[in-house]
Each structure stands twice: as structure tokens, then as C-alpha cells.
Amino acid sequence: MPDMNPDAIEKAVRQVLGSLTGDMTSTEASLLAELEALGREVQRAKSDIASMRVDDINASHIPRATDELDAVVEHTANATNEILDVCEGLETMQLRLPTAEADKLGIAITRIYEACSFQDITGQRIGKVVSALKAIEARVAAVTARFANPSEPLPPLEDAKPAPPVTEGRALANGPQMPGLGTSQADIDKLLASFD
């Protein structure tokens, strides 16, 4: 499809109008009204985009958001390391307790260790969000560049960074999934049963 800038649209409408002879039919009048409405809508959309200050999105908003998310990952990792250090201290104390209490404390420590896996999952999820934000940033930059110079074609949309090579392990490791979207336990059980 050829690039249609507002001047080209206006020229096309003028050509259509110039080709009409005599009285317009209701269909032609309806078409003309639709073309005029389309022209107004295109102009309104351009004005709206220009007033959005999209440069702020790439220059400030997205980088600030990714920095904040990186800080969340760092602080979460620091807090998790602190929790794990405390658990190691509890394990030392566990050795001095009577067996029944030591067993209860051991179960609690194990539950804390298991709960600390949230940090890795959180980091992976935040990494996905950061990648999505960077892809949005690239697309906003492409659209902004297009409006700045409408005569140049849009560059092809690309990911923010090249995808790493897909190894067998990477193909299987998709990171944390949203509830209901990951592989179910029934699917895992079926896969394991197929090895028998």
C-alpha cells in the first residue's frame, strides 16, 4: 500500500471531486461526507499525537520506569539474601534445641527457603516487563520519527535487543507463567508417564 500522507489524501479527494459531473448522487454525497470526516479524523489524530509530547516517553518515562524496576530487582535480591543469612543462623541454633523443637524449626526454615524462591521468579517477571517497555520505547521512537519526517518510510519494527540463541534448555525454560497459562500438573504427569 502506498504511503498516504495528508497532502496525498487531499489531492485524491480533489481528483475525485473534479471527476464528478452534474449533480451528485446520494451515494457520491455520502462518499464525499465520509472522506471529509476521515480527513478531519486524521488531522485530529495528528494534533492529539503532537500534543502528547511523545519525546517525554522515550527520554524520561520509560527509562525511569526501567530504572525503578531494576531497583526493585536489586532490593528484592538484597532482602532475600538477608533472609537467607538469618535462616543460616537459625540452622545453627537448631542444633542446640531438643529434637521435637529442632524438627519444627527445621520445617519452618525449609518453608522460608522455599518462599525465598519468589525473588528469582520476581526478577524473571520484571525482566519480561523491562523487555516489553524497551520494545514499546522502540516503537514509539519509530512512530515519532515518522511524524517528524512523513516522507520517509517507517523502519521495520525490531525487538529492543536481539534474541539470544535458543538452546534446548532455553526452549523448555519459559520462566514464570501467569496463573492458568503455564503447564498444568496434569500435563507434567502425562509427560512423565510417557517415559515408562
Distances (CA, A) of 101 to 90, 115, 184, 185: 12, 21, 36, 34
SS3 175: coil
Non-local (6+) Cβ contacts of 43 within 8 A are 6
pLDDT at 178: 59
Q: Give the pTM.
A: 0.48
pLDDT at 2: 47
User: Checking phi first, is residue 180 left (phi over 0); if not, alpha (psi -120 to 50) or beta?
Assistant: left
Residue 4: its H or E element: none
pLDDT at 102: 94
For 137, other C-beta atoms within 10 Å of its C-beta total 19
Tens digit of pLDDT at every position of the chain (196 positions): 445 565 676 677 667 666 766 676 777 778 778 877 887 887 787 777 666 666 677 777 788 888 888 888 888 889 999 999 999 999 999 999 999 999 999 999 999 998 888 888 888 888 888 888 888 888 877 777 776 666 666 555 554 455 556 565 555 555 555 566 667 777 777 877 888 7
Q: Is the dihedral of CA 54, 59, 61, 62 positive or negative?
A: positive
Non-local (6+) Cβ contacts of 155 within 8 A are 142, 145
